[in-house]
Structure 1
Amino acid sequence: MASSTLKFAIFLGSTREGRQGLRVAKFMKNQLEARNYQVELFDPLELKFPLLEKAFHHYENKSDAPQWMQDCDTKLRAADAFVVVSAEYNHSIPPALANMMDHFGESAYAYKPSGIVTYASGIGGGVRAAMQLRIFLGVLGCLSVSDIFSIPKVHEALTDEGKPLNDHMISGAGKLITQLEWMAAAMKNHRDAVGIPK
């Protein structure tokens, strides 16, 4: 079955001190790996993405790009689907998230689905950022599935290591992943069968 070979890339958007997003990213990684999927985590603090000056797709000769950028592009192109874990900064998406994803062109994301996971320390769960992510991801070519997994009071929902502290976490992640894996498998099968339009 095609879905057994799916590869996922998780983007973690927050870099601010005391960020809660890492526990969310760990949780989503664990949930995907429990279904035997391969997962790559893109963390702007670990990968040290600089402010965007030259995107990977603007290098005429890709071998002239920094090695870390070449490596990230290879992983993105290998992915079948994306999970975007985002905080809400001033009712919008974190600048580190847009900066990280903008380092790579639409062709790295196109014809693959995405899933949106937002969180907040309050009761809103970051849904205003999710609405902006729908547009952002759509323009990149990785349309988001209909479900949005929003996590209110994230500090009460997950441990630092990403272990769930309530039933909503398992059911909410499960619903999103089920939609995402269906779309990812369908789109992978079609990419393999007919290729990607030029």
Structure 2
Amino acid sequence: MIVLRPARLGLRIARACAAHLAAGGIDATIIDPLDLDLPTPFKPHFAYASGRAPEVLDALARQIADADGYVMVSPEYNHAMSPALADLLNHYGNSLYSFKPSAIVTYSAGQWGGTRAAVNMRTFLSELGCLPVSAMVHIPHAQDVLSEDGTYAEGVDSDRWAGYLDRCLQQLAWWAEAAEKQRATSETTEAFNRDPSQRDAP
């Protein structure tokens, strides 16, 4: 029996974004939810006693804390972001993400490019404290735009697409630099540094 599955498109989008950032002198690390053996059933990182969290969660916490900004790459599921991405992000409270910008990059195999997921992602990322920049990227028919290695497919107007990605990623870089300087020179508000269970109470 032959099982045909659609091409996995997210990794090629992530590779393209990483390459654009690298061309601008910015180090980027791709974090793929499928590469991580997250604990099940779901238990967030902050729910473990100090020093008792699985190493995979501790390692990812360090990566999130060390980053100056985030590029969130997602397809669209039921007008919302990828369940795998949401699951990964939900393991951490907003103290790790706060005061850092994010960029939303969505894609699809069809014509809409994940735009409805992007709307959902704005509120999700804002709640985490990594406010999305205003420019977003939506890639319809992603399998025709990018090759598996993240380079532009043959026949694609690469200059047009590069300008489109760069508009978003350069905005992210600007805000990341600005936020990093501000974090280094002023104290952050307690609003993002409290335990998640305390945020809804005075």
Q: Give the TM-score normalised by the residue count of structure 1.
A: 0.87
State yes or no: 1:83 paired with 2:71: yes
Alignment-derived partner of residue 191 in structure 1? 183
**Structure 1 residue 164, shift from structure 2 partner:** 1.6
**Structure 1 residue 121, shift from structure 2 partner:** 1.1
Alignment-derived partner of residue 114 in structure 1? 102
Whole-Å separation in 1 of the counterparts to 2:142 and 2:40: 28
**Structure 1 residue 86, shift from structure 2 partner:** 0.5
Q: 1:62-77 counterparts in 2 under 5 A?
A: 63-77=51-65
Native 8 Å contact 1:138 1:144 kept in 2:
yes
**Structure 1 residue 54, shift from structure 2 partner:** 1.6
2:172 maps to amino acid: L
**Structure 1 residue 36, shift from structure 2 partner:** 1.7
Q: Residue 68 of structure 1 aligns to a residue in which SS?
A: helix
Q: 1:189 to 1:116 in 2, by over 3 A?
A: same
Whole-Å separation in 1 of the counterparts to 2:187 and 2:45: 22
Alignment-derived partner of residue 151 in structure 2? 163
**Structure 1 residue 53, shift from structure 2 partner:** 2.2
Q: Residue 28 of structure 2 aligns to a residue in which SS?
A: strand
Whole-Å separation in 2 of the counterparts to 1:58 and 1:176: 34
2:147 maps to amino acid: T
Whole-Å separation in 1 of the counterparts to 2:140 and 2:161: 10
1:48-75 Cα deviation digits (max 9, x unpaired): 33445221112231x2111111111011
Gaps of 5+ in 2: 191-202
2:46 to 57, 63, 67: 57
Structure with bigger strand share is 1
User: After the TM superposition, which parts of structure 1 deviate over 3 Å for at least 4 consecutive aligned residues?
Assistant: none
Q: Give the TM-score normalised by the residue count of structure 2.
A: 0.86
Whole-Å separation in 1 of the counterparts to 2:170 and 2:88: 26
State yes or no: 1:140 paired with 2:122: no
Whole-Å separation in 2 of the counterparts to 1:51 and 1:32: 33
Identical residues among aligned pairs (%): 36
**Structure 1 residue 183, shift from structure 2 partner:** 0.7
Whole-Å separation in 2 of the counterparts to 1:92 and 1:181: 26
Native 8 Å contact 2:108 2:142 kept in 1:
yes
Native 8 Å contact 1:116 1:133 kept in 2:
yes
Alignment-derived partner of residue 200 in structure 2? none
1:33 maps to amino acid: A
1:189 maps to amino acid: K
Whole-Å separation in 1 of the counterparts to 2:128 and 2:31: 17
Q: 1:70 to 1:157 in 2, by over 3 A?
A: same
State yes or no: 1:32 paired with 2:21: yes
> How many residues are treated as equivalent by the alignment?
182
1:169 maps to amino acid: W
Native 8 Å contact 1:52 1:99 kept in 2:
no
Alignment-derived partner of residue 19 in structure 1? 8
2:33 maps to amino acid: P
User: RMSD across aligned C-alpha pairs, in angstroms?
Assistant: 1.5
Alignment-derived partner of residue 5 in structure 1? none
2:100 maps to amino acid: K
